[in-house]
Structure formats: structure tokens, C-alpha cells
Amino acid sequence: MSLRICCIDDNPICIYGLKNALSSAGHELVGSLDRHSQIETFLENSPCDVLISELRVGDFDLLERYHQVIGKHTESKWIIYSYDENPTHVARASALNAWDYIPKRYSVQRLIQSCESIRTGQRMPESLVGLAKTFLTSHHKPAESIPVPLTKREHQILIHLSLGLSNRDISKSLSISLETVKEHVQNVLRKLKISDRTAAAIWSLRNGVPTLNFDPPS
């Protein structure tokens, strides 16, 4: 079954390459957008199965503006195809339930395979979003013991804080209420005897708290 795909990227060479690759794989490129202002109108008038986008279009950050633009169109699966490989951005994409996050240094075939996995409703085992979801919900312990141990949930919260995720991101990632997140964050800060989220990220780095690392593609 052919997928209807819209690409969002301000690099015309990238759009050209994607159009050829998607066409060769039997999919239909129904739109190619190079400005964020085009996105909402296009999606309202031309529903599609997949959105493939850069992280930034011009100076517009699609992660930051997700709820204003892409989040309104839940019928479309979102794949981020980007030069940006910052683990924090992968974690945020996971929290927002993007389908996948594929660095542009990966082969285009990896992108095609991710698109086709949408048909089955199962992410590929090597999906960075899938790996991030597993990582963010695992029980990690800081390398250094602390006087008042963190609970399993507080360990998870600390992992999210170490990656710079907001309370809203954490709420979506762990499927808990915003108020519950705020309570856990305050407990973590109190137990670590630190004052703010930035200090939590620094503490995590200094004390060997695991972070997202992805092996390069084979």
C-alpha cells in the first residue's frame, strides 16, 4: 500500500532526493514545504499518512512548536529526518510520540524502512524513538549513593531532567499528570540537595547517570 507523505525541509536538494527515494519505493509525495507557515494550512486541506521533517525550518523549531502545528494532526505519523543528533532532541521527540528520529547521515533506506513500519504499527527495533522510550522508562541508578535513596520513579525523573526535558515533556513521556511530575521533581531536588533543574543535569553528569547514546548505523 502506497503511503501519502509530506516532506518539510528548507533544503531543496534534500526535498529532491527524498522525492526520488520515496517514489522509487512506491510512495506518493503529496507535498513538499519549505516554510513553517505553510504546514497547518496544508495539513488541514491535504491529510497525509506521514510527515517527514527537519527539526528546524528556517528559525522555526518544530519540537518547540509541536502542539501549535503538528500535534493537531494525530492522523499523520511524524518522522524527524535531521542533521541534528542531540540526545535531548531525540528524547523530546520520544516524549511527543514522534514515530522516529533519523539522522541524515543514515542511509535513505533506513528512512524508507521506518516509513513502511508505519503500516504494521510497530517501530523498527533500531528506531531511535523506540530506544529512547525504553531508556527513559527504565530503572537507572545514579553511580553515587545519596543519603535518601531515590524511588524508581524519581530515578526516571532524574534521567529526564538530565536530558533537559520540561515538565510537560516528562508528563507525556511517563504518562503521568503534570502535578505529579512537579511533585517528583521537587522530591528529586530535595534528596539531591540541589536548587534547580540545571543543577540536577550537572549532578547527573558528574555522578555517572546514564544518558542516551546511539551507535552509528552499520
Tell me, yes or no, whether 99 and 30 share the same domain: yes
The pLDDT tens digits for 106-144 are: 999 999 999 999 989 999 999 999 999 998 887 666 656
Residue that is last in its domain, among 124, 151, 168: 124
Tell me, yes or no, whether 152 and 83 share the same domain: no
Q: Beta strands 60-61 and 56-57: pairing type?
A: antiparallel
Residue 148: CB atoms within 10 A of its CB come to: 10
Q: What was the pLDDT predicted at 217?
A: 55
Is the pLDDT at 218 greater than 80? The verdict is no
Residue that is last in its domain, among 89, 124, 159: 124
Q: What was the pLDDT predicted at 145?
A: 67
**What percent of the chain is predicted at pLDDT more than 70?**
94
Tell me, yes or no, whether 103 and 163 share the same domain: no
Q: Which residue type is seen at 81?
A: Y
Is the pLDDT at 105 greater than 90? The verdict is yes
The pLDDT tens digits for 43-79 are: 889 889 999 999 999 888 988 888 888 888 888 999 9
Domain assignment of residue 156, given as a range: 137-206
Q: What is the 3-state secondary structure (H, E, C) of the chain?
A: CCCEEEEECCCHHHHHHHHHHHHHCCCEEEEEECCHHHHHHHHHHCCCCEEEECCEECCEECCCCCCCCHHHCCCCEEEEEECCCCHHHHHHHHHCCCCEEEECCCCHHHHHHHHHHHHHCCCCCCCHHHHHHHHHCCCCCCCCCCCCCCCHHHHHHHHHHHCCCCHHHHHHHHCCCHHHHHHHHHHHHHHHCCCCHHHHHHHHHHCCCCCCCCCCCC
Tell me, yes or no, whether 91 and 152 share the same domain: no
Q: How many domains does the chain have?
A: 2
The pLDDT tens digits for 7-46 are: 999 999 999 999 999 999 999 999 999 888 888 889 889 8
Tell me, yes or no, whether 114 and 61 share the same domain: yes
Query: What CATH number does residue 182 fall under?
Result: 1.10.10.10
- 38 domain residue, yes or no: yes
The reply to whether the predicted model has a pTM over 0.85 is no
- 215 domain residue, yes or no: no
Tell me, yes or no, whether 107 and 31 share the same domain: yes
d(CA 161, CA 115): 30
Tell me, yes or no, whether 63 and 119 share the same domain: yes
Tell me, yes or no, whether 154 and 111 share the same domain: no
Residue that is last in its domain, among 124, 152, 179: 124
Tell me, yes or no, whether 98 and 141 share the same domain: no
Output the average pLDDT for the chain: 89
Tell me, yes or no, whether 149 and 119 share the same domain: no
Find the mean pLDDT for residues 149-171: 92
> How would residue 206 be classed by pLDDT, with cut points 50, 70 and 90?
confident
